[in-house]
Every structure is written in C-alpha cells, then in structure tokens.
Structure 1
Amino acid sequence: MHFVRGETVRIGQQPGGGHGSSGTVLADRVTGTGPLSAGVRRVLAYIALTKPRVIELLLVATIPTMLLADRGHADLGLILATLFGGWMGAASANTLNCVADADIDKVMKRTSKRPLAREAVPTRNAAIFGIALGLGSFAWLWWQANLLSGALVVATILFYVFVYTLGLKRRTSQNVVWGGAAGCMPVLVGWSAVTGSIAWPAVALFAVIFFWTPPHTWALAMRYKEDYRAAGVPMLPVVATEQEVTKQIVIYTWLTVLATLALVPAAGVIYAATALVAGAWFLLMAHQLYSGVRRGESVKPLRLFLQSNNYLAVVFCGLAVDAVLGWTTIGDFLS
C-alpha cells in the first residue's frame, strides 16, 4: 500500500526513464499498439490503473509486521486475507490518484502512457472502479480481520486522495513528507489485523516508512524535476537547490535509521544486527550523494532511489526472520 511511491514510477518503466523489454510490451498492450484484442487491452488498462508494481511495499511491510505482532507464530490464512484486503485498498487509492492526476499525467513525459492520460479508460469508469475497490477492501477486512483494519484502509484511501493528491501535492514542496503518511498505513493495518489494536512497535514501523519516504522520493524527483516543473508540481528538487535537497535527504535518512533502532527492544538480535548494518550502508549512500553535490560533481540520485528500496526490503526481511524464529527479544533480555 505504498501510495506515494506510486507517483514516481509507472508500470513497466525502469527507474531512470528507460524500459525493459517486458515493460515495453506491457505499455504497448495497454495503450493499444500491441497485438492483443481490444477487450484484453481494456482489462490491462484497468490493471495498470492500480499501479501493481507500486504495491510491492504492501508485501514488504505488512507480512513482517503481522509476524512481529504474533511473534513466534504465523497465521497464514489471516496474512493472505489481510494482503488481499490491503491490495484492494492500495489499488483503490492508486486508481483514484490516476483520476485526480489525469491532467498532469498528460503533461509529464514519465506518466504520459498511463491509461487516463491516453484516454484508454473513461474517467467515470475509472472513478467507479476505484470506489468499488475501496468499498470491497473495507468489507473484506472487516469480515476477515476486524473493523479497525477495515477502517484504517478507508482512512488511508481518503487521506491519500483528498489530503495528499488534491490538497498537498500541487501546493507545497513538503507534499511527500506529510502525504507519505498514507504509505505507512500497511503496518498499522497488519498489526491491527492480528491484535485488534495499535501498539508502540506498529507506531515505530510507521515512523520507519514515514521518514524513509522523503529521501526515497526526492532522489527520484531529482532526476525528473523538469517533468514536475512542467506539470506545476512543487516537488522539493524543483524549488530548492541540489545541495539543500541532498541535505534534507541526509537528515531524513538519519531519522529513518534511528526509527529502525527504536524498534530493537521489541525484536531480537537478528533484527538488531540487520538494522545496524543496513542503516550504516543507507547512511553512507546518502552522505556520498550530499558530498558529491557539495563538490560540484555529477551525481546519480537514481542510485540512492534504487538502493533505498533494497534497504527497506532488507530491514523488513530481517524483522520477518527474527519474528518467525521467536527468540527472546532484546527488551525481555534486558529487563
């Protein structure tokens, strides 16, 4: 349910603007230039509205959180049900984001092949599709998990569409800072699905993704700032110098790593070691980007963008392994 990242990389596109062979084929099929029938292309267009690649974070964040919430156990049925409900919620938010952003998607080269930008799907149909997915996600999670999980998904969709997309995105350079809260919600949904409540470890995981989102997104926006400028979207790299942007990236990277360490008392030695090593690596990359800009060198911010994905995946995978093993937590050991 990683919504903010959905702004940045369209389906089938490799970060950096290029396309792999599979991405090109999918884009051709969705936009009507491939060999498939009109009906199949229409189905693919609706799938593209949900930004399926963006939903990878749903898997990365939700599963480890649920394993931590039920440390030492794994309810596979509940995990799969929560993932399905969360997928529908993320698909709803991404679809409605496409509806709201259709005008600027047409302007930005990077998003010009999205279905609504190319009028492959009627806007009214896309809106109905998005609303139906949202209602379905609420009903499914209420049925399979609990009312709190369903309510959190609805709150996420509303926040992403109305607060971030319609409220913040086109008005402030801090859009992804506050709008990024929507991308943090999978951990709260996952935790509540298991426990029926929200506890401090879930809040710590929320903070990890909250602080991770700005450096992740700004690194990509540095590469595509002309796209954002053309669309009138005041992303930080559009309105600030590269030195200021990379300085902010370093600050938020430090906050991200500190947030991962705040979770250590609720986990074991495997997670602690993973968070320390991966955090040092992530910090090194952020500082290298900042130092390169300060020295006036030609930098590659997309490298940090790509590696930020790997960093988050490594931290959450370490958490999942730690939770499944169910060894004594550091907090219990010290108490």
Structure 2
Amino acid sequence: MASPREGGKPDVTQIVDHGVADQLTSAPVRPTSAAALARVQKAQNPGFGAVLKAYVSLTKPRIVELLLVTTVPVMFLADKGLPSLWLVLVVLVGGSLAAGAANALNCYIDRDIDQLMKRTSRRPLATHTVSPRSALIFGLTLAVVSTVLMATFTNLLATLLTAGAIAYYDLVYTMWLKRTTPQNTVWGGACGAAPVLIGWAAVTGGLSWTAWVLFAVVFLWQPPHFYALAIKFKADYARAGIPMLPVVRSLRRVGLETVIYSWLTVGASIALWPMGMTPLYGVVAVVTGALLLVEAHRLHGRARREEPLKPMRLFHWSVTYLTLLFAAVAVDVFIQ
C-alpha cells in the first residue's frame, strides 16, 4: 500500500478493503517481522496472569481513567452538591465497563493495523495473547453488562447515551472515520465527550445548556490532544495507511488547527463561568487555558519555522489541563 503523499489523500479503497476483509475473519494476521514472530511464539502458552493482564489491556485503562475525570465533577455540578453515592458508583462502574467495551471492540476491529504500528504492536491481539474471537466476545459482553447496569439503576436517557457512545466509537469512528478521513480526530471526539452528557443525564434525567457547554469543552479539547500524539507517531500511522491529519497534511497545517481548537476549547471553558460558576473556576479556566494556548502556539511556531517539534509537551499538558479544569468544576460546587 502506498503511503499518503503530503497534502493528498491515502488510497481509501485499499484501506477500507483491507480493514473490512480482516474483520470478516478471525484468522490472525501473519506477523510482519522477526520481532513480531518472537512475540507470537512467546504468547503461545501464556500463564493466567499474562492472560488476565491482556484482557485488562484490551480495555485501555488509561483512557478510561481520563473519561472518569470528567464524569464525576459533572455529576456534582448537575446535582449542585453531592449526588447519591450509589448513583455515582453505578455511573463510574457502568461508564468504565462501557468505555472498556468500546476499547476492546476497537482492538478487535483494528487488529490488522495494530500489527503494523510500533506503538500498538504489543497489544494482546497483535501478540496473539488473546484470540480475535475471545476479544470480540469480551467486548460485546462488557457492552451488554454496562448497558443493563445503566438501564437498571439510572434512566433511559443515560442508558441510550451509553449505548450510543459505544456504537459511535466502534461503528462510526473505528470502522469508518479513522480509516477514511483526516477529520477522524475531530468527529471522533463526540464519543470521548459523551461521558459528560451521561453523567449529567444520570443525575437529572435531561440535558441542559450547561451540560452541552461542558460537552463542547471536551469535544474541542480532543483535536489538540490527539494531534500531538499523531505527530509523535506520524510514521506509524503512515505505515498503516491511516489518514491522520499529520500524515496527509503539512505540520504547519496541523499546528494551525491545533491553535484554533485550543482557542475554541479555552473559549468554551470560559463560557461556562457566567453559568453559575464562582471566580475560583474562572481563574482556573483562564490560567490553565493560557498555558494550553502557550503550548499550542509553541508547537505551531516550531512547525512554521520547520524546527524539530516536541508534541508530547502539548500532549501531557493537555491531560493536566483537563484534569485541573474539571477538578475546579467539582470544587466550585461546594464553595458556592
């Protein structure tokens, strides 16, 4: 498969055909290197601990943690205090299982390209520690359990949002957007921001303008966050034929979009301030937002000057930014 040219588009037909063909069979893809072959041989007789660790790995726990960082503060704000601890526990467990289900199914669908990328070559399906069929059953089981849990202990809207987020991530983003358009990161952000709406709906049974503003913060935050990661692993995505923006557009263009979405993120976070938030939240939003903008502009400046980029600075700070901002949301509730 030819790599995408700068400013052009990858061969979408090859990408889609390769992905769909692999999804229709549970036969493992042949390892592409001696190192991959060695991992397969080592994985032929994994112990119980290794298998358990592999199944946990399928759920991508670090991503789940980040999603929960946004969910709990939103529940506090929706309740204007401390909601039922039982409800918080149900949403945390249900949300974790739902995110884990979406991630496990993502690993199943992406098993063809995971073997081609260094960053993902050690995932359980790429190393054959877990079979594709087992991963599929595991992901679907988590999806059913999470949906039933939410339906039993929350409400219809929260349940529908949970099921919709799983379906969107795997059917819309993973199977379609990721493999066909450089805007995959932007539109894929809807499922990453869904926990905000799920947490709000679980408490109130509905969605307010405040909930949608918080959704916008997380939705707009994701392009700068993931563009930084895509720059770091640009060669990986090119090798797998995935049209991430840094693969098919110039780094100057990526830097410009990073700046634009960073400004939009900060703007959305400040828009929340007059919606009943205290000056504490406002100060945190302004200060952390300013630091996010500094990193985004630094990345863009280096790209314009064609200097070596340090995208992981922005990546790591973006995680800290979101954590601090939503911590401020939680604290703000209890000082009003």
TM-score (norm 2): 0.85
Does the CA contact (< 8 Å) of 2:68 and 2:96 recur in 1? no
Does the CA contact (< 8 Å) of 1:31 and 1:113 recur in 2? no
For 1:117, the equivalent position in structure 2 comes to: 126
How far off its partner does 1:75 sit? Answer: 2.4
* Number of residue equivalences: 296
Aligned mates of 1:239, 1:41 — CA distance in 2:
38
Look up the SS of the partner of 2:188 in the other structure. Answer: helix
For 1:292, the equivalent position in structure 2 comes to: 302
How far off its partner does 1:33 sit? Answer: 6.0
How far off its partner does 1:37 sit? Answer: 6.4
Aligned mates of 2:144, 2:278 — CA distance in 1:
38
Aligned mates of 1:49, 1:220 — CA distance in 2:
19
Picking from 275, 296, 318, the partner of 2:285 is: 275
For 1:313, the equivalent position in structure 2 comes to: 323
Aligned mates of 2:66, 2:41 — CA distance in 1:
29
Q: Deviations over 1:19-44 (max 9, x none)?
A: xxxxxxxxxxx98969x961221111
How far off its partner does 1:145 sit? Answer: 1.3
Higher mean C-alpha displacement, 85-94 vs 296-305 = 296-305
Q: Deviations over 1:133-170 (max 9, x none)?
A: 01111111111211211111100000000100001101
Q: Deviations over 1:228-252 (max 9, x none)?
A: 0000000000011111100000000
Q: Residue 72 of structure 1 aligns to which amino acid in structure 2?
A: G
Does the CA contact (< 8 Å) of 2:83 and 2:203 recur in 1? no
Distance 1:74 1:237, change over 3 A: same
TM-score (norm 1): 0.85
Picking from 193, 197, 201, the partner of 2:206 is: 197
Aligned mates of 2:46, 2:290 — CA distance in 1:
50
Q: Residue 205 of structure 2 aligns to which amino acid in structure 1?
A: G
How far off its partner does 1:130 sit? Answer: 0.5
> Is 2:109 the partner of 1:100?
yes
> Is 2:266 the partner of 1:247?
no
Aligned mates of 1:73, 1:82 — CA distance in 2:
14
Look up the SS of the partner of 2:308 in the other structure. Answer: coil
Higher mean C-alpha displacement, 226-235 vs 144-153 = 144-153
How far off its partner does 1:58 sit? Answer: 2.1
For 2:190, the equivalent position in structure 1 comes to: 181
Q: Deviations over 1:37-61 (max 9, x none)?
A: 6122111111111111111122210
For 2:312, the equivalent position in structure 1 comes to: 302
Picking from 108, 128, 131, the partner of 2:137 is: 128
Aligned mates of 2:279, 2:41 — CA distance in 1:
52
How far off its partner does 1:205 sit? Answer: 0.8
Aligned mates of 1:160, 1:192 — CA distance in 2:
20
Equivalent positions of 1:1-335 (< 5 A) are 38-266=47-275, 267-325=277-335, 327=336
For 1:13, the equivalent position in structure 2 comes to: none
Q: Deviations over 1:170-226 (max 9, x none)?
A: 100000100111100000100001001111111111100111101100011111100
Aligned mates of 2:72, 2:41 — CA distance in 1:
36
Distance 1:48 1:256, change over 3 A: same
Aligned mates of 1:167, 1:242 — CA distance in 2:
24
Look up the SS of the partner of 1:287 in the other structure. Answer: helix
Q: Deviations over 1:67-93 (max 9, x none)?
A: 000113342221111100000100000
Higher mean C-alpha displacement, 221-230 vs 282-291 = 282-291
Look up the SS of the partner of 1:166 in the other structure. Answer: helix
Q: Residue 248 of structure 2 aligns to which amino acid in structure 1?
A: V
Aligned mates of 1:246, 1:106 — CA distance in 2:
29
Aligned mates of 1:37, 1:157 — CA distance in 2:
30
How far off its partner does 1:296 sit? Answer: 2.6
Provide structure 1 residue ranges, at least 5 long, that are not aligned to the other structure: 1-29, 328-335
Does the CA contact (< 8 Å) of 2:69 and 2:326 recur in 1? yes
Aligned mates of 2:51, 2:309 — CA distance in 1:
40
Q: Residue 131 of structure 1 aligns to which amino acid in structure 2?
A: L
Aligned mates of 1:130, 1:244 — CA distance in 2:
36
Identity of aligned residues (%): 48
Aligned mates of 2:40, 2:280 — CA distance in 1:
46
Give the RMSD, CA atoms, in angstroms: 1.6
Aligned mates of 1:316, 1:158 — CA distance in 2:
26
How far off its partner does 1:260 sit? Answer: 0.5
